[in-house]
A and B are shown apart, each in its own frame.
Chain A
């Protein structure tokens, strides 16, 4: 199949084959990063604009590295979300970037759906680098890529996602991607962090972390964002660690070669212990490396579709 979409806005709208195509493309780009000269000319002469309305280091840097390894020119724009209110509208900002003849906007926004709005108004590509609680497609793709690399398949795997599911775009994109590829997904969190009707997205909801870990082939540990308003009413951090934290003791009861993932940045001692984060089951840094290949693939494919 060939890639048809000008934008990548989320995994909900993608078919199994499209996800497969991104993963395959990423696989062929992965080798580039281990070359002595880490560069291919695929996007030479193209301009990628990183438009970030929310602070982000790792995602922005990962996209920047990916674009540069494809030989694209990269421009970073960081805008404080609060200045949106006084400043120009999102659509006007996008139209200006389009008028600069940029080819791809990589966009991070604190409001769900903002990339959808922008993509509707622009002819150039929009890649969602995380919008509100909605989607973070490239994160989920790199998680899936890593899983597949480690375990050889996705279909039939038991994958658990632990943490603040309600406010997590990473969780949503992972759920769409994994279920489309045939994995069995369990979400596990305190009740107040499980959004309503999530079962209808094709996942199982369980409250007992030990039960979840017993059956899981992989666990994706979400960052607990205690700094957000939505978690103001949430019990103590230590309480969370006691009940849901991924520790060495807990993992002893899990499958021996369980894969432990985390989208980063990690809060050691809150959702995951240092021993686990740095331990043999952890693939956290490999995820970071794979993120470059996946983002190279996404940038390459959307640029082709224009």
Chain B
């Protein structure tokens, strides 16, 4: 089987490629990338005026299965991923049961094998039950297929335990992904601490609760030369701390999410819980710092932190509503609108944040259009404008912070393992 993508603008930072050319796929692999490929193909996609990217690698996704299949499943979550041009993702371990035992990962892998329509990589838990008390058996988690470790949603409060976790992870050559939050500081907060929390009469989450933990985790990693990845940073101070650490040669990488470079805390003033996430939306100066961090390379990765919740858990009193928003289907378009159209990043730069860097950090052979690699490719129409509507989400949950927003750039095709697994129809 041969699939030929003709005349697209092919963007591939791994090979420093930004040119109009053809991409030929044979069965599941990329066979050839060059101009005017002369061959017989079973399927030809005319990609004129389109952008051809490596399939996105989203390293921060909550698929909710097992345990909360009412919110999302591997099937619905990967379907949403494909719609958003994401062909590989890292599933966070805060499931029920948590991914803290080899056998849990084994069962999860079976679900993935049976139902996933994108590559799902597994992140194991750092501690048993993600309670921050007792380390999981990293060797066993790795043996069953975990490629990274995180207690996402929680942070290990005890410095010595965190240091031990970094040591053990290093021994297993596993990446530690840190959710940086000191709950003694964030307490019962639900929105950014400052004018917003004061106006709304809600408890605030200080920036300190985030950046102090960023600083601690970097310090611990540096101490033993371990690798650490800082998840979903939201504030200026975190960006500054990471920039300094990188300058000093610490092996730290960082990620942010579209809502942190697009939306400010003002969105939340109407008590709409679709703007309630952790960390919270911050001030304008933080949004600008996050953008700058993406621009200058301090922030390596854009991930969605896709966090589906049912309407019952969201359409309630603000304090009681769950934290988190979905993002798989919007992250590419938001990034194009806010980073490429604004001139902050070029297409190669964007593809680094969404494709190449996360793949590199996770150590997986994805996010590149290298010959003989798996053919995971996303084709987008960069000019197409669309309105974000509830009914267009194929995720089980609809808790998007971008509902009603007009975005630019839409996924036309998602090719996963050499097969067209999504093709946009006119309705969207």
Interface set of A (CB-CB < 8 Å, partner B): 12, 89-91, 109, 111-114, 116-117, 131-135, 169, 172, 195-198, 200-201
Looking at the assembled complex, report how far the CB atom of B316 sits from the nearest CB atom of chain A, in whole angstroms: 6
Show the binding face of B for A, using Cβ within 8 Å: 193-195, 197-202, 204, 270-271, 312, 315-320
Q: How far is the CA of A212 from the CA of B319 in the complex (A)?
A: 35
Q: Give the top 7 A-B pairs by smallest Cβ distance, nearest first.
A: A134-B201, A133-B201, A113-B271, A197-B195, A111-B317, A195-B198, A112-B201
Known pairs A117-B316, A117-B318, A169-B201. 7 more at Cβ < 8 A?
Answer: A12-B199, A113-B317, A114-B317, A117-B271, A117-B317, A198-B198, A201-B195
Contacts of B195 in A (CB 8 A): 196-197, 200-201
Chain A CB within 10 Å, residue with most, of B200, B315, B317, B320: B317
Return the chain A residue nearest B268 by Cβ: A113
Cα–Cα distance between A113 and B202 once the two chains are bound (Å): 9
**Chain B residues whose C-beta falls within 8 Å of the C-beta of A169 in the assembled complex:** 201
Can you sample 16 A-B contacts with CB below 8 Å?
Answer: A12-B199, A89-B315, A90-B316, A91-B316, A111-B318, A111-B320, A112-B201, A112-B202, A112-B271, A114-B317, A117-B315, A117-B316, A131-B201, A196-B204, A197-B198, A201-B198
Which B residue's beta carbon lies closest to that of A171?
Answer: B201
Q: Contacts of A198 on B, CB cut-off 8 Å? A: 198
Question: Which one of A109, A135, A172, A200 contacts B317 once the chains associate, using CB atoms below 8 Å?
Answer: A109
A111 CB to nearest chain B CB (Å):
4
* B35–chain A nearest beta-carbon distance, Å: 55
B194 touches A172 (CB 8 A): no
On whether the beta carbons of A196 and B200 are closer than 8 Å, the reply is no
Interface of A is mostly: mixed
Q: Give Cα A113–Cα B196 distance, bound, in whole angstroms.
A: 13
* Given the contacts A116-B270, A117-B271, A196-B193, A111 and B319 also touching, CB distance less than 8 Å: yes
- Chain A residues positioned under 8 Å from B318 (CB to CB): 111-114, 117
Chain A residues with Cβ below 8 Å from B315 are 89, 91, 117
Tell me the bound Cα distance from A91 to B313 in angstroms.
12
User: Which A residues touch B270, using CB under 8 A?
Assistant: 116
A135 partner residues in chain B, CB cutoff 8 A? 201
List chain B residues, Cβ under 8 A from A201. Answer: 195, 198-199
Tell me the complex Cα distance, A165–B187, Å: 19
Measured CB to CB, the closest approach of chain B to A54, in angstroms, equals 12
CB-based contact B312/A89 at 8 Å: yes
Give the chain A neighbours of B198 by CB distance below 8 A: 195-198, 201
**Minimum CB–CB distance for A52 against chain B, Å:** 15
CB within 8 A of A112: which of B193, B194, B200, B316? B200
Residues B312 and A112 in contact, CB atoms below 8 Å apart:
no
B199 / chain A contacts, CB cutoff of 8 Å: 12, 172, 201
A201, B197: Cα distance in complex, Å: 12
Distance A132 CA – B312 CA, assembled complex (angstroms) = 21
Nearest-neighbor residue (CB-CB) of A198 within chain B: B198
Assembled-state Cα–Cα distance A111/B270 (Å): 14
Contacts of B202 in A (CB 8 A): 112-113, 132-134
> Are B271 and A197 neighbours in the complex by a CB distance under 8 Å?
no
- Complex Cα distance A111/B199, Å? 14
Cα A109 to Cα B320 in complex, Å, equals: 13
Most buried by A among B195, B201, B270: B201
Task: For the complex formed, measure the closest distance between the CB of A172 and the CB atoms of chain B, giving whole angstroms.
Answer: 6
A12 to B204, CA, bound (A): 19
**In the complex, how many angstroms separate the beta carbon of B186 from the nearest chain A beta carbon?**
14
Residues of chain B contacted by A195 (CB below 8 angstroms): 197-198
B194 neighbours in A (Cβ, 8 Å)? 196-197
**Closest chain A residue to B319 by CB distance?**
A111
Contacts of A131 in B (CB 8 A): 201
Q: Which residue of A lies closest to B273 (CB)?
A: A117
CA distance A135 to B202 in the complex (A): 11
* Chain A residue nearest to B270 in the complex (CB): A116
| Contacting residues, chain B, for A117 (C-beta < 8 A) | 271, 315-318
Distance (Å) between the CB of B92 and the closest chain A CB?
Answer: 27
Query: Could you tell me the distance between the alpha carbons of A117 and B193 in the complex, rounded to whole angstroms?
Result: 22
Give B271's nearest chain A residue, CB to CB: A113
Q: Within 8 Å CB of B319, what residues of A? A: 111-112, 132
Bound together, the chains give a CA A12 to CA B201 distance in angstroms of: 12
Report the nearest A residue to B321, measured CB to CB: A117
- Could you say which residues of chain B place their CB within 8 Å of the CB of A113? 200-202, 271, 317-318
Task: With both chains docked as a complex, state the minimum distance between the C-beta of A88 and any C-beta of chain B, in angstroms.
Answer: 11
- Minimum CB–CB distance for B306 against chain A, Å: 25
Shortest distance between the CB of B175 and any CB in chain A (Å):
36
Residues of B within 8 A of A196 (CB): 193-195, 197-198, 204
- Cβ B271 vs Cβ A132 within 8 A: no
Query: B214 to nearest A CB, angstroms?
Result: 21
A90 to B204: give the CA distance in the assembly, Å: 23
What is the bound-complex CA distance between A90 and B198, given in angstroms? 24
Among A116, A131, A201, find the residue whose CB has the most chain B CB atoms closer than 10 A: A116
The smallest beta-carbon distance between A158 and chain B, in angstroms, is 22
> B320's closest neighbor in chain A, by CB?
A111
Q: What's the Cα separation between A198 and B204 when bound, in Å?
A: 13
Bound: A133/B203 CA distance, A: 9
A175 shortest CB reach to chain B, Å = 10
Complex CA gap A268/B216 in Å reads 48
A230 to B149: give the CA distance in the assembly, Å: 36
Would you call A172 and B271 a contact (CB within 8 A)?
no
For A90, the chain B residues whose CB sits under 8 A away are 316-317
Bound complex: CA A116 to CA B273 (Å): 12
> Which residue of B has the minimal Cβ distance to A85?
B320
CB-defined contacts of B312 to chain A, threshold 8 Å = 89
Contact between chains at B316 and A89 (CB < 8 Å): yes
